[in-house]
Amino acid sequence: MITSFLTAGAACVTAIGVWLAIRITSKRPALPYPPGPRRLPIVGNAFDIDLKEPHVTYTKWAKIYGDIVYSRMFGQDVIIVNSERMARLLADQRSSIYSDRPHSPIYRLFGSHHMTPLLEYGKEWKTHRKLLHLSLRHDVIDRYHELHLRNAH
């Protein structure tokens, strides 16, 4: 009877070890992450950040690790951009890489997948944005002033 428990225990330990080995080796990114502080297992850097003033922690990390810092908290990857220059570079010059939105099948289920804020970056999103820009400019909005006043009265 003790032998069967030992065999079952050994099988469980082996299965968990194989699962951990597969998980650790399969999650390697193709490119390295930016530098960042050392992380604890599971919680990552969650305890390193001051909840009332996180910007103070980010500023300290910027002095040590540079303008872009990698952190991980509770299994969630976090990239912190610490300078306006780097934020503008990423947002303006590399916008085609970083401008996409999270995709969810729920959007299609509810029929909201064609709403502008939920569109994936591409031709359709660019068309929506162009039409919104044309209809919501300052000189165009002034034309709706009388309509708004009538409806308000």
Question: Distance (Å, rounded) from C-alpha 83 to C-alpha 137?
Answer: 30
pLDDT in tens, 61-78: 999 999 999 998 888 888
Among 19-28, 54-63, 102-111, 135-144, the range with the most confident prediction by mean pLDDT is 54-63
Q: Indicate the domain borders of the chain.
A: 101-153
Q: What is the pLDDT of residue 91?
A: 81
Task: Give the pLDDT band of residue 20 (cuts 50, 70, 90).
Answer: low
Buried/exposed 7-34: b ≥16 CB within 10 Å, e otherwise: eeeeeeeeeeeeeeeeeeeeeeeeeeee
